[in-house]
Amino acid sequence: MADHSYAHAPRPLGGSLFTPLTLLLGVLAGIAGVILLYRLFYGLGAVTNLNDGYPWGIWIAYDVVVGSAFACGGYAMALLVYIFNKGQYHPLVRPALLASLFGYTLAGASVIFDLGRWWNFWHIFWPGYAQVNSVMFEVAVCISAYIVVMWIEFSPAFLEKWGMKDVRQKLNKVLFFFIALGVLLPSMHQSSLGSLLVIFGEQIHPLWQSGMLLPVIYLMTAILLGFAVVIFEATLSSTGFKRQLETPVLTPLSKVMFGLLAAYVVVRVADLLLRGALGTAFAATWQAFWFWVEMACFVVPLVLLATEQARRSAAKLFVGAVLLMLGGFLLRINGFLVGYMTGEGWHYFPSLAELMVTVGLIAFEILAYIVIVRNYPVLPAAQPVTR
């Protein structure tokens, strides 16, 4: 058993909910809401640039594929703390889980607006309709299940606030099972998000059509992104809420992240070499260009965070984390949009309305995070900054 340290047990932050930042976030979320309402009445074509060559736009490629990977902080930390029993990272679990909760819940909710025949969405869970050979089926069921599991995992924070001790105690006895589920489910659907591309076959540029290795590549980067997002969020919320930086706990975390990153780069490059796809990276194409940008986002942190000394620097950790998030973002956008070649004559770039919905969704996530950490016990009760 690890020595879980609860010296920094989570507490509500308190403070005002009405700040220029929260107002701005609220307005952005409101704009997205209006656009989505418009979309329901006038169809996808009225607000998006989707077409039959690019039937999936950023509402899938970013909101779901990237968004859920960015929401893997809770998963990555649960894996580290409860499966690999690294108790020292315990204070990072709950805030990470909260961010994941919103990331996933909003990714799941936003899908409804991307579905053309959204009123039928329940078919995916219904025997007789459900088609188990479909990768989409696996992704949808698994993400939905994970959202429910995360709310259960996170419920102690609410139960504490509401003083429901009985429920909490009962839940605590079986919580380990939900934690296990909370590790299994993201492992399944984060890999399956990569598997979605398998059936696209040669429509995906060779730099991203890794076939049977797609689930491995997407799962490795999802965990990698989970760690990066935890570092990113911990740094931002320390700065934003004027709390002490959590660098002492982030430094060893970044070592784990570094090891996984090194393994990922080896797998990614080996796959390209074995499939003989690397040659296409030297062609004068947009795909090749974005491939190199993507690779740089993974390789630069590998160099940047190579030494223990570097990993003690809050600034380098932050830069490394941001680059990894960008790399994971590009891997997915490249796979689903840049490297999706459906024949000549098709073009897609998101419309302003599409972008505003995605921006509004992110704004809503941040807003909800702020509201919750100010009112519920999420962030460790750290001392104010002593500088």
Partner 1 sequence: MDRRTFFKASLAGGTALAAGAASCPAQARETHPMPPEAVGLLFDSVLCVGCKACVAACKEANGMPMEFSTKDQYWDTPLDISGKTLNVIKAYRNGKMEAKDREENGFAFIKKSCMHCVDPSCVSACPVSAMKKDAKTGVVTYDKDACIGCRYCVAACPFGVPRFTYDSPTPQISKCQLCIHRHKDGKYAACAEVCPTGATLYGKVSVLREEAQRRLALKPGDKTEFPRGHLRAAEEKALQGAPEGKGEQRRQGWKDDGAQRYPGVAGQYLQHIYGEKEFGGTQMLMLSGVSFQKLGYPDLPPRSDAATSETLQHTLYGGLIAPIAVLGALTFIARRNVKPEDGEGGQNG
In the complex with partner 1, the residue whose CB is nearer, 195 or 358, is: 195
- Nearest distance in Å: CB 128, partner 1: 8
Q: CA geometry: angle at 108 spanning 261 and 254, to 5°? A: 20
In the complex with partner 1, the residue whose CB is nearer, 93 or 324, is: 93
The residue whose two tokens read 């993201």 is 186
Q: CA geometry: angle at 338 spanning 335 and 341, to 5°? A: 90
In the complex with partner 1, the residue whose CB is nearer, 24 or 43, is: 43
Question: Any idea what DSSP says for residue 117?
Answer: T
In the complex with partner 1, the residue whose CB is nearer, 327 or 358, is: 358
Alpha helices in 84-213 (DSSP H): 90-114, 135-162, 165-195
- Nearest distance in Å: CB 86, partner 1: 6
- Nearest distance in Å: CB 91, partner 1: 9
- Nearest distance in Å: CB 124, partner 1: 5
Torsion of CA 319, 323, 324, 328, to 10 degrees: 150
Q: Are 260 and 220 contacting, i.e. CB atoms less than 8 angstroms apart?
A: yes
Alpha helices in 305-338 (DSSP H): 308-311, 314-333
- Tell me how crowded residue 49 is: count the other CB atoms within 10 A of its CB: 17
In the complex with partner 1, the residue whose CB is nearer, 189 or 268, is: 189
- Nearest distance in Å: CB 82, partner 1: 5
- Nearest distance in Å: CB 143, partner 1: 12
Tokens describing residue 256: 């784990």
In the complex with partner 1, the residue whose CB is nearer, 48 or 237, is: 48
